[in-house]
Amino acid sequence: MEIFDYDNILLLPRKCRVESRAECDASVVLGARSFRLPVVPANMKTVVDEKICTWLAHNGYFYVMHRFDFDNVQFVRDMQARGLFASISLGVKQPDYDTVDQLAAAGLVPEYVTIDIAHGHADSVKAMIGYLKKKLPASFVIAGNVATPEAVIDLENWGADATKIGIGPGKVCITKLKTGFGTGGWQLSALKWCARVATKPIIADGGIRHHGDIAKSIRFGATMVMIGSLLAGHEESPGQTVEVDGKLYKEYYGSASDFNKGEYRHVEGKRILEPVKGTLAETLVEMEQDVQSSISYAGGKKLMDIRKVNYVILGGENASADLMA
Ligand SMILES: NC(=O)C1=CN([C@@H]2O[C@H](COP(=O)(O)OP(=O)(O)OC[C@H]3O[C@@H](n4cnc5c(N)ncnc54)[C@H](OP(=O)(O)O)[C@@H]3O)[C@@H](O)[C@H]2O)C=CC1
Ligand SMILES: Nc1nc2c(ncn2[C@@H]2O[C@H](COP(=O)(O)O)[C@@H](O)[C@H]2O)c(=O)[nH]1
């Protein structure tokens, strides 16, 4: 198997088919809806909050609200009362089952539910998918996180409508160091490996450091990418603002860090500071323009035309200058 990551892959251009990049369509379909960009901000406390999710939904972007110290039922009610789609996160513990019961009892059906635990290839996830499909059958269920084709096959067979790939590639992740496991350092080839067996959409989660990494993810099989650190340092980001030597930063911490958990138990995340770089809206517009450029370099007009390009693997002992189909 080829092992590579975002920074040692480059995609190869094909003859341009547009006169302007504005002709390139960066939108993507997930479930019953179309979104203007194949990007979703990570469902983390320092990346999204209710206000940001409302703005994202209102402006045609996909979002997944985080699940920490949060009233999912009220959130679904509020979003749908505003005519917006509801997209929530759940774990696999009793309070998460209680949330599903409360939603069903109130006749509230979130359009998207993401089951989000560290080791998603687990019977606990199988049970929660089954429960959701029984109680809220119209919800589109995303499940993860996982790292192998076996896990993707199981989650799909258990009823997941999409899977989320990535254990340990995140910027505030310390899973690799603490446990010796994960896709940190080879997330892109793990994505390729998983995509070979997937029959449903994949969300590539973690490790995106540059806008060009979005196109690389699409090339290797992602339908969408989940991004934390690149989207955490904005004026409206929920993390605390910190000033260091006259420069403004936002705190960004892992969901499995002691900062999020409130205790030092099974900690697999850390806290960092991200420089504040304007507004989220500006960054998303720039991302859209960059994905449009990617599509044009791919010789296409639509997002999935990026899947057709060849690539080279750069650098390292196992580098290959051969064209890879
Ligand atoms: N993508 C990634 O690399 C990672 C992401 N995270 C994120 O951190 C957040 C918290 O995750 P998590 O701690 O799972 O959530 P929870 O604290 O909600 O735990 C979910 C359940 O899974 C169990 N569990 C967690 N990890 C394992 C494991 N390795 N083996 C067996 N059981 C496990 C927990 O039990 P118990 O705690 O008793 O073991 C608990 O019952 C999530 O948003 C998750 O996505 C966390 C780590 C890695
Ligand atoms: N191992 C851990 N992974 C975590 C934790 N909190 C979040 N995450 C994952 O990281 C991505 C975001 O990655 P980034 O490279 O874009 O910053 C996020 O979506 C989660 O999957 C954690 O505490 N430990």
Structure tokens belonging to residue 196: 């070979």
Strands 9-11 and 311-313: antiparallel
pLDDT digits (tens, 9 = 90+) for 184-202: 999 999 999 999 999 999 9
Distances (CA, A) of 33 to 4, 60, 95: 32, 10, 29
Question: What average pLDDT does range 212-218 have in this prediction?
Answer: 98
Q: Is 173 a known active-site residue?
A: yes
pLDDT digits (tens, 9 = 90+) for 92-105: 999 999 999 999 99
Mean pLDDT computed over every residue of the chain? 96
Pocket of ligand 1 (CB under 6 A): 91-93, 116-119, 124, 145, 166-168, 170, 173, 175, 206, 255-256, 266, 268
Structure tokens belonging to residue 143: 């499940």
Question: What average pLDDT does range 123-146 have in this prediction?
Answer: 98
Q: How far is Cα 112 from Cα 118, in angstroms, rounded to an integer?
A: 19
For the chain, domain boundaries: 6-322
- For residue 317, is pLDDT > 70? no
Fold of 6-322: TIM Barrel (3.20.20)
Find the radius of gyration of the CA atoms of the chain. 19
How close is the Cα of 40 to the center of ligand 2, in Å?
Answer: 13
Q: In which residue are the tokens 């192998």 written? A: 148
Please state the atom number of ligand 1 nearest to the C-alpha of residue 265: 37
Q: Residue 216 — pLDDT band, cuts 50, 70, 90?
A: very high
Question: What average pLDDT does range 34-61 have in this prediction?
Answer: 98
Q: How far is Cα 224 from Cα 202, in angstroms, rounded to an integer?
A: 7
How close is the Cα of 174 to the center of ligand 1, in Å?
Answer: 13
Neighbours of 191 (CB within 10 A): 30
Q: Residue 250 — pLDDT band, cuts 50, 70, 90?
A: very high
Question: Which ligand lies nearest the alpha carbon of 68?
Answer: 1
Neighbours of 133 (CB within 10 A): 16
pLDDT for the residue numbered 322: 46
- For residue 321, is pLDDT > 50? no
Q: Which residue's C-alpha comes closest to atom 2 of ligand 1?
A: 167
Task: Please work out, in degrees rounded to the nearest 5, the angle formed at the alpha carbon of residue 83 by the alpha carbons of 71 and 286.
Answer: 90
Judge contact between 133 and 141, C-beta under 8 A: yes
Question: What average pLDDT does range 127-148 have in this prediction?
Answer: 98
Judge contact between 227 and 169, C-beta under 8 A: no
Q: Residue 316 — pLDDT band, cuts 50, 70, 90?
A: low
Residue to substitute in 98, 115, 117 for testing ligand 1 pocket (most ligand atoms within 8 angstroms of CB): 117
- For residue 158, is pLDDT > 50? yes
How close is the Cα of 203 to the center of ligand 1, in Å?
Answer: 18
Please state the atom number of ligand 1 nearest to the C-alpha of residue 66: 43
pLDDT for the residue numbered 269: 97
Helix 212-219 and helix 280-297: axis angle, to 10°? 50
Strands 87-90 and 241-244: unpaired
pLDDT for the residue numbered 319: 54
Name the active-site residue from 16, 24, 53, 173: 173
Residue to substitute in 47, 172, 226, 257 for testing ligand 2 pocket (most ligand atoms within 8 angstroms of CB): 172
pLDDT for the residue numbered 315: 79
- Backbone torsion region of residue 254, taken as left when φ is above 0, otherwise alpha when ψ lies between -120 and 50, otherwise beta: beta
Q: How high is the ipTM of this complex? A: 0.95
Say what the pTM is. Answer: 0.96
Structure tokens belonging to residue 41: 């901000």
207 annotated as ligand-binding: yes
| E strand segments, the chain | 9-11, 28-30, 33-35, 39-41, 87-90, 112-116, 140-146, 162-165, 202-205, 224-227, 241-244, 247-253, 271-275, 311-313, 320-324
Neighbours of 181 (CB within 10 A): 12
